Chain A
Amino acid sequence: MTVEGEISDDTSPDGTSPDATSPDDAGLYGDVWAGVRDVSPLLLGIAPFALVAGIAAVDAGLGLAEAVGMSVIVFAGASQLAALGLIGENAPLAVVVGTAVVINLRVVMYSASIAPHFADYGRRLRAGLAYLLTDQAYAISVAEFEANPERSRWRYYLGAGGGLWVVWQIGTVLGVVVGASVPDAWGLTFAVPLVFIALLVPAMKDRPTTAAGVAAGTVAVVAAGLPLNLGLLTGAVSGILVGLLTEVFGE
């Protein structure tokens, strides 16, 4: 994550151009593009995730409008996949919503962590920026805000978050098309748990988080037959409690 201006330093004849090291020298959109550029390696990671969201939507019996509607309105991958799985199993509305809501609780942490960086902005801009808050946009933006305070924060974040948003929507549409045309025997929806595994492994980074994952997985398997499809929610809550207990008794 370098400043655009650093590159143009060499082209300045006297090397004293006052704007040479300013992030604004690439113009109004320079910071937006910097966000897009920095997020692009992550786009490769979320593109298959978005495809899987589209495939899972078809598998759950959703049409294109509903699949895209979900990706636009919810715009949070893991919760979308969980909700789609439950919708496919005809789970009650309250369980579908409750499960997705628990999964997205973590976003509160990102909101708290990024809030000071947006404190100078007006209410409406902040309300708009909040919509684009995802794991990836958060991680990349906060790192840049700290490394490069000169940056126009909202423009950079808009570039990163907007890039993720566009790829997420395109991926969903392609996933719906792929999901509708590949035979069921290929088991493409198996990509859903594979995405979760790809995210789970790095999330189990110490003893309490590993204990949380192991407990949640075990309880979810055993509780899979619970009425109202409450197995996932029961597993997740058990895992959170075991993680907390491990933390407390590990000290």
Chain B
Amino acid sequence: MTGGSPLLGGSLEVWIAIVLIGVATYGFRLSFIHLFGRVDEVPDRIKRPLRYVPPAVLAALALPYLVTIRPSVAATLADEQLIAGVVAGAVAWRTENVTATIAGGMVTLWLFRFVVFA
């Protein structure tokens, strides 16, 4: 998407994306705050799927960074990013702390990248 016409030092398309996402997100934020009195309750039809948005979206975001499918199972598993991701998952589960999770994952990544697999 980069490489469009320059605008404020960047691509016009990037700015269009930012504004469109921003407008939609603001619409979601304002939705019921604005409508309260006319629509008081989120219909169950909408509420139930929304419960699964965070785990589904976060997993779909995270996993492709960690797993690269390679010709053999061994090569797929002996991947520094996957190992670091598993360690980070364990830290997140034990601590529920963002900083500790990032630290655990990054240190593991560096350990395997610069020491074990070097």
Chain A contacts to B: CB under 8 angstroms: 44-46, 48-49, 52, 60-63, 65-66, 69-70, 73-76, 78-79, 81-83, 85-87, 90-93, 96-97, 100-112, 114-116, 118-119, 123, 126-127, 129-131, 133, 185-188, 190-204, 208-210, 212-222, 224, 231-233, 235-240, 242-244, 247
Query: In the bound complex, what is the Cα–Cα distance between A107 and B64 (angstroms)?
Result: 24
Question: Are B56 and A216 neighbours in the complex by a CB distance under 8 Å?
Answer: yes
How far, in whole Å, are A217 and B32 apart by their CA atoms in the complex? 31
B60 interface hit (Cβ, 8 Å):
yes
CB within 8 Å for A231 and B64 given contacts A69-B18, A90-B2: yes
Q: How many chain B residues touch A (Cβ–Cβ < 8 Å)? A: 72
**B-to-A contact residues, CB < 8 Å:** 1-2, 8-10, 13-22, 24-26, 28-37, 40-42, 46-67, 69, 81, 84-85, 88-89, 92-93, 96-99, 101-102, 105-106, 109-110, 113
New A-B pairs, 7, CB < 8 Å, besides A75-B22, A231-B60: A66-B18, A82-B61, A87-B14, A115-B33, A216-B60, A217-B63, A220-B61
Q: Identify B59's interface contact among A62, A83, A213, CB under 8 A.
A: A213
**Chain B residues with Cβ under 8 A from A82's Cβ?**
57, 61
Q: State whether A240 and B88 are in contact (beta carbons under 8 Å apart), knowing that A65-B10, A108-B42, A126-B33 are contacts in the complex.
A: no
- Which residues in A have their C-beta under 8 angstroms from that of B30? 111, 126-127, 130
Cα A220 to Cα B64 with chains together (Å): 6
The CA-CA distance from A185 to B16 in the complex, in Å, is: 31
A62→B102 CA distance, assembly (Å): 23
B55 touches A195 (CB 8 A): no
For chain A, what secondary structure do more than half of its interface residues adopt (helix, strand, loop), or is it mixed? helix
* CA distance in complex: A126, B32 (Å): 10
Q: CA of A61 to CA of B48 in the docked complex: distance in angstroms?
A: 37
A45 touches B98 (CB 8 A): yes
